[in-house]
Amino acid sequence: MIRTSRGCVARAIGTAALAALATACASTGAVPKPFPMPGSQGSQGSRGSEGGSSRAFDGYALAGTALSLRGAPYRNGGSDPAGFDCSGFTLYVFAQYGVSLPRDVREQYQWGKSVKPEELTAGDLIFFTTTEPGASHVAIAVGGDEFVHAPSSAGVVRVEHLSSKYWAPRFLGAKRVN
Q: Which residues are catalytic?
A: 86, 137, 149
* C-alpha to C-alpha distance for 45 and 118, rounded to whole angstroms: 23
Q: What are phi and psi of 63, to 5 degrees?
A: -65, -35
Element (H, E) at 137: strand 137-143
Cβ neighbors of 70 (< 8 A, separation 6 or more) are: 148, 156, 157, 158, 159
The string of DSSP codes covering 48-78 is TT---SS-SS-HHHHHHHHHHTTTPBB-TT-
The answer to whether the Cα torsion of 58, 60, 63, 67 is positive or negative is negative
Q: At what angle do helices 59-68 and 86-95 cross, to 10 degrees?
A: 130
